[in-house]
Homo-oligomer: A and B are copies of this chain.
């Protein structure tokens, strides 16, 4: 296997994009290329201290900036874009989480509308120890500090939507977007159905770590240095985003109410298992019912997201999806890392 071709892209401030769709590509990529990129945090880099309240320093709709879109040569509707995450590493030594008025799971919101005043707005600055792989929480109103594992991920990854739509980067839907699942970490391959020529993918919203549901509305938000390998699976449709790790196959559903996100993810996974594992649909439904996990991604965005997941150890045909492209990309990632003297994927 020859050394992968590497493209590097760091957006200027005026190149950040705020939507999926509706933006001209910042860079052309060929399938098989490695892309080294940088993403700004969801606050557009404006929250540095406990005084930087979002409502004061950020200006809607300039939230959740994305790096991209990237035009993938040859990608066309009917194909699937595969993005393999080689590494996702915080590019700063602190992260910030915040409460934002009328945003989050435990507050009334603009659609779960009520007569309450907004909850108090606040900022928490976390210490990130990239060598030690920890994230440290400091309570604001007492002396408590808590060390948690660093588990970097991208909250937002997606392609341009179908049907001429342009969507805010705060939204998740069939094209991906702001799904906010902790499963989008280094070592996985994410799959998206291509809706427009060139696929036009972008990503951002790095999280040093995140709980399931992102209940306060934000994670430990941080800019990221990310390496991914871009691949194309021609002639393969992907109705909702899917994720593959070495150990599991996943589908991501985004909808409201939350049970619909569950239904979407569950149905997509059942159909994927049925189509690739030699099982009838009812048998696949049964297998996923007993062997599946369903980690909640977000319960705060305009659509909520849930992942349905099944361990490959329960699948008769291991690695049988998308023509084993994940295994190939894993291999390619190893070559790339070996060239740089790294020994293993960080997770």
* A interface with B by C-beta (< 8 Å): 18-19, 21-22, 60-61, 97, 99, 105-108, 110-117, 119-120, 122, 124, 126, 135, 137, 139-142, 144, 146, 148, 162-168, 209-216, 218-220, 253, 255-260, 262-264, 266-268, 270, 277-283, 285-296, 299, 304, 306, 314-316
Q: In the bound complex, do residue B114 and residue A288 qualify as a contact, i.e. CB atoms below 8 Å apart? A: no
9 tightest A-B CB contacts, nearest first:
A257-B257, A61-B163, A258-B258, A166-B166, A216-B289, A141-B280, A211-B292, A212-B294, A113-B267
Q: In the bound complex, do residue A113 and residue B211 qualify as a contact, i.e. CB atoms below 8 Å apart? A: no
Complex alpha-carbon distance, A263 and B277, angstroms: 35
Complex alpha-carbon distance, A280 and B143, angstroms: 11
Q: In the bound complex, do residue B168 and residue A167 qualify as a contact, i.e. CB atoms below 8 Å apart? A: no
- What residue in chain B is nearest A257 (Cβ atoms)? B257
Q: In the bound complex, do residue B283 and residue A99 qualify as a contact, i.e. CB atoms below 8 Å apart? A: no
Q: In the bound complex, do residue B60 and residue A290 qualify as a contact, i.e. CB atoms below 8 Å apart? A: no
Complex alpha-carbon distance, A139 and B280, angstroms: 8
Q: In the bound complex, do residue A292 and residue B116 qualify as a contact, i.e. CB atoms below 8 Å apart? A: no
- Distance in Å from the Cβ of A197 to the closest Cβ of chain B? 16
Q: Which of B105, B126, B167 contacts A263 (CB 8 A)?
A: B105
Q: Which of B97, B110, B119 contacts A116 (CB 8 A)?
A: B119
Q: In the bound complex, do residue B99 and residue A282 qualify as a contact, i.e. CB atoms below 8 Å apart? A: yes
Complex alpha-carbon distance, A60 and B77, angstroms: 14
- Distance in Å from the Cβ of A221 to the closest Cβ of chain B? 11
Q: In the bound complex, do residue A280 and residue B142 qualify as a contact, i.e. CB atoms below 8 Å apart? A: yes
CB contacts (< 8 Å) of A115 on chain B: these are 106-107, 119, 267, 270, 281-282, 285
CB contacts (< 8 Å) of A22 on chain B: these are 22, 164, 166
CB contacts (< 8 Å) of A263 on chain B: these are 105-106, 111-114, 299
Q: In the bound complex, do residue A285 and residue B216 qualify as a contact, i.e. CB atoms below 8 Å apart? A: yes
CB contacts (< 8 Å) of A165 on chain B: these are 19, 165-168
Q: Which of B119, B144, B219 contacts A279 (CB 8 A)?
A: B144
A-B contact pairs, 18 of them (CB 8 A): A19-B165, A108-B108, A110-B264, A111-B260, A112-B260, A113-B260, A113-B263, A113-B264, A113-B268, A137-B290, A139-B283, A139-B287, A146-B314, A210-B289, A211-B294, A215-B288, A257-B257, A262-B299
CB contacts (< 8 Å) of A259 on chain B: these are 105, 256-258, 299, 304
Complex alpha-carbon distance, A18 and B161, angstroms: 14
Q: In the bound complex, do residue B257 and residue A316 qualify as a contact, i.e. CB atoms below 8 Å apart? A: no
CB contacts (< 8 Å) of A122 on chain B: these are 282, 286
- Distance in Å from the Cβ of A100 to the closest Cβ of chain B? 12
CB contacts (< 8 Å) of A290 on chain B: these are 97, 126, 135, 137, 148, 209-211, 219-220
Q: In the bound complex, do residue A116 and residue B105 qualify as a contact, i.e. CB atoms below 8 Å apart? A: no
- What residue in chain B is nearest A292 (Cβ atoms)? B211
- What residue in chain B is nearest A286 (Cβ atoms)? B124
